[in-house]
Chains A and B, each alone.
Chain A
Amino acid sequence: MRKSVTIASGCAVIAIAAGVAVYLKSAAAPQTVLNERWAMLDKYCVDCHNDADRTGDVSFEHVQSANIVKDAHLWEAAIKKLRLGMMPPRDKPQPDHALRDEFVTALERTLDGAAAAEPYAGRQPVHRLNRAEYANAIRDLLGVQISVAELLPSDGGDFGFDNIAAVLTTSPLLLERYLTAALRVADAAVGNPDAVPTNAAYKIPVDVTQTGHLEGLPLGTSGGTVVTHNFPADADYVLSGRLLRTVAEGYVGVEGHDTPYEFVIAVDGEQVYTAHVGGPEDHKDSGADILASRVVIDERMTSPRIPLKAGPHEVAFTWVERPAVEQNAWQPALRDSQEAHNPAGLPRLETANIAGPYDVRGVSDTTTRERIFVCTPKAPAEEPACAHEIFTALAKRAFRRPVNDADVSAPLSFYADERKDGGDFDSGVRAGLSRMLVSPSFLFRVEKDAADVPAGAAHRITDVELASRLSFFLWSSIPDDELLGTAIDGGLSKPSVLGAQVRRMLADPRADALVENFTGQWLQLRNLEQRVVPDLLMFPDFDDNLRKAFRRETELLFSHVLRENRSVQELLTADYTFANERLARHYGIPDVYGTRFRKVALTDPARRGLLGHGSILSLTSAATRTSPIIRGKYVMANILNSPPPQPPAVVPALEDSKPKDRPSTVREQLELHRKNPTCAACHLNLDPLGFALENFDAVGQWHDRTVDGLPIDAAGILADGTAVDGPVALRAALTARPEIFASTVAEKLLIYALGRGLTPADMPVVRAIVRNAAKDQYRLSTIVLSVVDSLPFQMRTKLAEPNALPTVAQTRD
């Protein structure tokens, strides 16, 4: 399947191949080392990994040093285990570590040498935009923000990411939603004077604490919410808030307020409506007649019709802040609302509503319309040419390539049909735009095989294709005019130009998509919202404000390390973090006030780096307690890149693990299963990683003792024999060999960048990226640049037979 590469001149890909060559010359010939050390296999491995037992489905009984490249699947897995010191197991005879490392290096060099001679580019099928990419593409194409989770179904995913081409299938459901989305986006972008009045309801989750100022709202306000709403036309709108009533809706929501509160609605920072809610009168009325009182309060919290211009506006629904003493609020926990009660004595918004349009007066120019209407026809005769110009400009950006008349013929015919049916120019453009948004050229990333290379050969993708790979990697979106222009001019693949573009793109706010989508999946931050629901009675302070702060902290650290050219090691070791007041209070960091996140020094070494982040510590806990197993598994999979195998289907009962006569620690409860030989094989490696973090509770707060007052024992021996006794020692162990964590990040980034799983044939590329980064202090930005420079990112393999995808074994987590 794999043949020699056809490499165009002057490309960065060669840099990595050259790097391999230099490194290959740096020591004794690998084949000699392997032959000398081959007996190690018999001595240390074959006892378990033989043809009869096939422990872990692996046998070294008949492998040969001449077949390493052929058996790459086996050897790449072995390299990983050996580099982590996980094999041979701790309780088995150990080879001399220096000799072992020499052996592994020789394995790597053999595989890398073969890859340099026969580079593997791989190939992705036609690549559908996933949900996040679709939303960003719409934003960058039209300036319209959509809440895509409501429009499109989720994409599934594989290899830990949701941008994997091979599994981005389509279904009737998806198709229907693409149609619906296209019509709605076109309405929102062009504006729609015929829009029917609807009510958009923005609900505030009950676990958002609203007793203080919230980010995004004006200073001097307390609680509420702010939404960016797209107004379809210049018209009147009715804005309103609804109170959380609580106690299973038996209340009005104004009970117990000593004095009235001032409710405020503001559009783009301008107050448009205000009303007083609560106070003795309302309290009395609510007691007299709940139903009547609700209607009165609802009406009072509803604005009259307010004239607003079309386009996106920020609408804030909030309360005027009062000094804390005047709030007279009894607050037993930081979280203001428990499941049924709202004990704070403060009004709390449940929903913000925007209804309209009423009395439409037209659609005035919006930033979105400016993007679309690159020309304005002054006379009917100019209209066809202008429509052509509009769709040509849109199609180039939407399809991410130069376009011709055939590309705009479909939108133009929709435009023409709409005009024939009596629609005006705007309606015609709207119709054509909605058609364009369902075009396969928009929804799919299509790369074409080069005509002049033989089947089976790897070839460079075009500069225009490269522009899309870059923008979808770094921005999860379409290229901007500068990137696409550079590509069309033919200069993008020049290393200096490419490097400059990558740096420009990383500095751009759109690269927040890389931060959010990559960390959201690699570090599983996306799971915070759904899966972190700590038990309310044990953790009464936990609220959504904290949950969001957790996510933000980790994203900001990653973003800082990436954009400030810091070493990837700092993700694990940073003696600073990013916090607002809520998070700082949670961690016990003094002197941080307000909702703004800022960089703060960490004096407590236990808190440093990702493993001290509330996000990761809560993600790896159960609702009522920590889970050393989940934490251990998390570290193995996401920090060491060596996920443990699935547990056996039938887990032996561990009934007696919990002493009945006295409180016990989680650790004690786990001791028994580590004594069980079925479990011990994995858990001896897994659990100590989790035990080391045991002082951090299920929401990431530090404790010296358990809730029952028992001392916490964080000591353990890691797979490679290192003794650790807490997060500081664990961190030291994990960073002792920086290339291990760098490999994890490189491998995950490469999967994410390519949108495909990696095969053993890709591992030489991963090692080249890590070697490259090693020369530059393992800077994260260097890893990203090396991914972009890598062969599989810049090339693809032309296939010989229809549907004959490379049949290489897969590496999945």
Chain B
Amino acid sequence: MTFITKKHLHRRTFLRGAGAAIALPLLDSMLPAFGQSSVKRPLRFGAIYMPNGVYPQLWHPTKVGTGFEFQPIMKPLEPYRERLVTISKMKAPEGSVHLGASAAFLNGVGPVNTAGSYGKIESKKTIDQYIADVVAEDTPLRSLEVGTEDMGTAAGACDGFPCVFFNTLSWRDATSPLPVGINPQVTFERMFGDPGTAQQRLTRLRRKQSILDSVADETARLQREIGSHDNTVLDEYLTNVRRVEESLQKMQARADTIAAAPDAPIGIPDNFDDHLTVTYDLLHLAFQGDLTRVFTFLLGHEGSSRSYAHIGIAEPHHPVSHHGDKPEGIEKYAKLVTYQISKFAEFVGKLKATRDGDGTLLDASLVYWGAGMSNGNAHDRNSPPAVLLGGANGKLKGDRHVSVDHKEPTANLLVAFADIANAKCESIGASTGRLAI
């Protein structure tokens, strides 16, 4: 167990009283470096999903092995070459053209939708959850799921599927989606509890625990009263009550982390760039404070119509990805993804700059940045981008471009992650083996 007791920086005075300026709290460097002494360094796993694909000709290096050349879109990651492995020529699962691409990202399956499944949401447990099984230990958040937009607030059909598939990368089990949270303030409160003094935070935490305890009893009582067919929903509720109870218990054991909490960000920033920055900062903070060891980050949902006007692209993301093979269209498409890679590179830089045991947080991490398709214009499932950052505690050697044979399924890469984490998952989705990385 790790306690974080000292603060390296004074808390910023954002949102404190009337004279406050509204700005992004500087969430990085708030918590002292985790484990100055040589405690055991746990593996951290993160998966980041880029919607609408990445133009493969401007992404995949041509040279295979070490010392490969960085293509323009991946270029911002070049400073981290020593901790970077990129994989090409894999094959991502087919399925519903957009929704299927992200829904299958971490389990190789996506929606399990049969005639008999009317009224049921079903997929398969995802790899991040297999990894959480073995690495989460006593971290308060077994895993953390974040995003920047969701389909839940949008109306209209979700390509004929329940919209949750658009909002979810991570499934705890076949019927328990873990949809992303898009509000940084909510993510912050999941990490540190409600705002207030340290004492008030703890009081609230205890109140929540006793509520959960009592609600569990009441739910069980209600279940006995109603027909057994209707118990599925309440079963799930009860299960989640227990899960949150467990999480709060672990959080209580981290009283000092709660006390060290920086100021919370307010709401969802207007500016998408800020939204990305603050979300990455929270993920960094969560790793640094050992509040979670597993995250998934949905940069946008598939088919996203997110505007990137702030970097000079007038058309929304999805139309940009349908570039029609015209040079000016491809240029915009590449520019958009390059921007996302540069935001990712900032995050990687922070992991690298953060000490963790006798190394850095980057050394102890395995962060997978990828997409469910390569060329978005054709929703092409061949050779999707897959770049891994981090040393995975010595299990991943960097500076390599791995080009696989025979369109090996991306599911094989997921099996390789499980292997690195010692998670119990020998096959997933359409996997045919373990990809050698």
Shortest Cβ distance from B305 into A: residue: A531
Contacts of B267 in A (CB 8 A): 150, 203
Known: A197-B17, A527-B154. A655 touches B228 (CB 8 A): no
Contacts of A351 in B (CB 8 A): 22
Query: A807 and B160: CB pair below 8 A?
Result: no
Known: A125-B232, A154-B153, A650-B378. A448 touches B226 (CB 8 A): yes
- A155's partner among B152, B195, B324 (CB-CB below 8 A) is B152
Contacts of B240 in A (CB 8 A): 170-172, 174-175
Asked if B241 CB lies within 8 Å of chain A CBs, one says yes
Asked if A525 CB lies within 8 Å of chain B CBs, one says yes
A166-B120, A169-B233, A199-B17 known, 4 other contacts, Cβ within 8 Å: A158-B162, A169-B236, A175-B243, A812-B157
- B316's partner among A526, A533, A803 (CB-CB below 8 A) is A533
Contacts of A318 in B (CB 8 A): none
Question: Which residues of chain B (136-153) have a CB below 8 Å from chain A?
Answer: 142, 145, 149-153
Query: B196 and A173: CB pair below 8 A?
Result: no
Query: B215 and A757: CB pair below 8 A?
Result: no
Query: A812 and B160: CB pair below 8 A?
Result: yes
Contacts of B115 in A (CB 8 A): 807, 809
**Pairs A–B under 8 Å by Cβ, sample size 24:** A126-B233, A153-B150, A154-B167, A156-B163, A158-B162, A160-B155, A169-B175, A169-B177, A170-B236, A171-B240, A172-B243, A174-B240, A175-B241, A183-B204, A196-B197, A203-B22, A203-B267, A414-B211, A439-B218, A440-B222, A440-B237, A649-B378, A809-B118, A810-B118
Asked if B405 CB lies within 8 Å of chain A CBs, one says no
Q: A180 to B244: give the CA distance in the assembly, Å.
A: 12
Known: A173-B179, A414-B214, A446-B226. A160 touches B156 (CB 8 A): yes
Query: A180 and B178: CB pair below 8 A?
Result: no
B297 to chain A, nearest CB (A): 14
Question: Which residues of chain A (424-456) have a CB below 8 Å from chain B?
Answer: 431, 434-435, 438-441, 443-444, 446, 448-449
A742 to chain B, nearest CB (A): 21
- B194's partner among A128, A157, A183, A651 (CB-CB below 8 A) is A183
Known: A172-B178, A205-B270, A444-B237. A655 touches B22 (CB 8 A): no
Query: B18 and A199: CB pair below 8 A?
Result: yes
Asked if B234 CB lies within 8 Å of chain A CBs, one says yes
Query: B218 and A410: CB pair below 8 A?
Result: yes
A559 to chain B, nearest CB (A): 18
B319 to chain A, nearest CB (A): 6
Question: Which residues of chain A (756-813) have a CB below 8 Å from chain B?
Answer: 756-757, 759, 798-799, 801-810, 812-813
Contacts of B158 in A (CB 8 A): 157-158
Query: A179 and B233: CB pair below 8 A?
Result: no
Contacts of B252 in A (CB 8 A): none
Q: A530 to B121: give the CA distance in the assembly, Å.
A: 26
Asked if A99 CB lies within 8 Å of chain B CBs, one says no
Encode contact with A along B6-19: 1 for CB under 8 Å, 0 otherwise. 00000000011111
Query: A162 and B152: CB pair below 8 A?
Result: yes
Shortest Cβ distance from B220 into A: residue: A440
- B322's partner among A167, A172, A176, A651 (CB-CB below 8 A) is A651
Contacts of B379 in A (CB 8 A): 649-650
- A156's partner among B164, B212, B237, B247 (CB-CB below 8 A) is B164
Query: A653 and B97: CB pair below 8 A?
Result: no
Contacts of B204 in A (CB 8 A): 183
Q: A363 to B138: give the CA distance in the assembly, Å.
A: 41
Q: A809 to B119: give the CA distance in the assembly, Å.
A: 10
Question: Which residues of chain B (207-238) have a CB below 8 Å from chain A?
Answer: 207-208, 210-212, 214-215, 217-219, 221-222, 225-234, 236-237
Shortest Cβ distance from B119 into A: residue: A166
Query: A448 and B157: CB pair below 8 A?
Result: no
Shortest Cβ distance from A643 into B: residue: B157
Q: A154 to B277: give the CA distance in the assembly, Å.
A: 22
Asked if A353 CB lies within 8 Å of chain B CBs, one says yes
Asked if B288 CB lies within 8 Å of chain A CBs, one says no
Asked if B78 CB lies within 8 Å of chain A CBs, one says no
Query: A203 and B270: CB pair below 8 A?
Result: yes
- A440's partner among B97, B176, B215 (CB-CB below 8 A) is B215
Asked if A695 CB lies within 8 Å of chain B CBs, one says no
Query: A353 and B153: CB pair below 8 A?
Result: no
Query: A623 and B307: CB pair below 8 A?
Result: yes
Asked if A2 CB lies within 8 Å of chain B CBs, one says no
B280 to chain A, nearest CB (A): 19
Known: A196-B196, A531-B154, A806-B118. A238 touches B189 (CB 8 A): no
Question: Which residues of chain A (520-567) have a CB below 8 Å from chain B?
Answer: 520-527, 530-531, 533, 535-537
Query: A624 and B315: CB pair below 8 A?
Result: yes
Interface residue tally for chain A (C-beta within 8 Å): 114
- B229's partner among A166, A438, A803, A808 (CB-CB below 8 A) is A803
Asked if B134 CB lies within 8 Å of chain A CBs, one says no
A435 to chain B, nearest CB (A): 5
Q: A516 to B47: give the CA distance in the assembly, Å.
A: 37
Asked if A198 CB lies within 8 Å of chain B CBs, one says yes
Q: A149 to B152: give the CA distance in the assembly, Å.
A: 11
- B178's partner among A155, A173, A417, A653 (CB-CB below 8 A) is A173
Encode contact with B along A731-775: 1 for CB under 8 Å, 0 otherwise. 000000000000000000000000011010000000000000000
Contacts of A339 in B (CB 8 A): 309-310
Interface residue tally for chain B (C-beta within 8 Å): 103
Asked if B430 CB lies within 8 Å of chain A CBs, one says no
Q: A532 to B19: give the CA distance in the assembly, Å.
A: 35
B374 to chain A, nearest CB (A): 13
Known: A203-B270, A410-B218, A440-B215. A302 touches B18 (CB 8 A): yes
Query: B229 and A169: CB pair below 8 A?
Result: no
Q: A536 to B312: give the CA distance in the assembly, Å.
A: 11
Query: A298 and B156: CB pair below 8 A?
Result: no
- Tell me which of B34-42, B53-61, B180-188 binds A: B180-188
Contacts of A242 in B (CB 8 A): 21-22
Query: A413 and B214: CB pair below 8 A?
Result: yes
Encode contact with B along A499-536: 1 for CB under 8 Å, 0 otherwise. 00000000000000000000011111111001101011
Q: A165 to B231: give the CA distance in the assembly, Å.
A: 13
Query: A757 and B241: CB pair below 8 A?
Result: no
Encode contact with B along A245-272: 1 for CB under 8 Å, 0 otherwise. 0000000000000000000000000000
- B18's partner among A353, A440, A537 (CB-CB below 8 A) is A353
Query: B230 and A410: CB pair below 8 A?
Result: no
Shortest Cβ distance from A249 into B: residue: B23
Contacts of A759 in B (CB 8 A): 118
Q: A808 to B116: give the CA distance in the assembly, Å.
A: 7
Query: B119 and A805: CB pair below 8 A?
Result: yes
Asked if A375 CB lies within 8 Å of chain B CBs, one says no
- A536's partner among B118, B153, B309 (CB-CB below 8 A) is B309
- B230's partner among A126, A153, A183, A439 (CB-CB below 8 A) is A126
Encode contact with A along B408-435: 1 for CB under 8 Å, 0 otherwise. 0000000000000000000000000000
Known: A155-B152, A174-B240, A183-B208. A757 touches B157 (CB 8 A): no
Q: A622 to B313: give the CA distance in the assembly, Å.
A: 13
A408 to chain B, nearest CB (A): 11
Query: B229 and A520: CB pair below 8 A?
Result: no
Most-contacted residue by chain A among B17, B182, B305, B380 (CB, 10 A): B17
Asked if B326 CB lies within 8 Å of chain A CBs, one says yes
Asked if B353 CB lies within 8 Å of chain A CBs, one says no
Most-contacted residue by chain B among A149, A176, A531, A802 (CB, 10 A): A176
B244 to chain A, nearest CB (A): 5
Asked if A206 CB lies within 8 Å of chain B CBs, one says yes
A677 to chain B, nearest CB (A): 19
Contacts of A150 in B (CB 8 A): 183, 185-186, 267
Most-contacted residue by chain B among A170, A413, A520 (CB, 10 A): A170
Shortest Cβ distance from B322 into A: residue: A651
Contacts of B22 in A (CB 8 A): 201, 203, 242, 350-351
Q: A448 to B225: give the CA distance in the assembly, Å.
A: 9
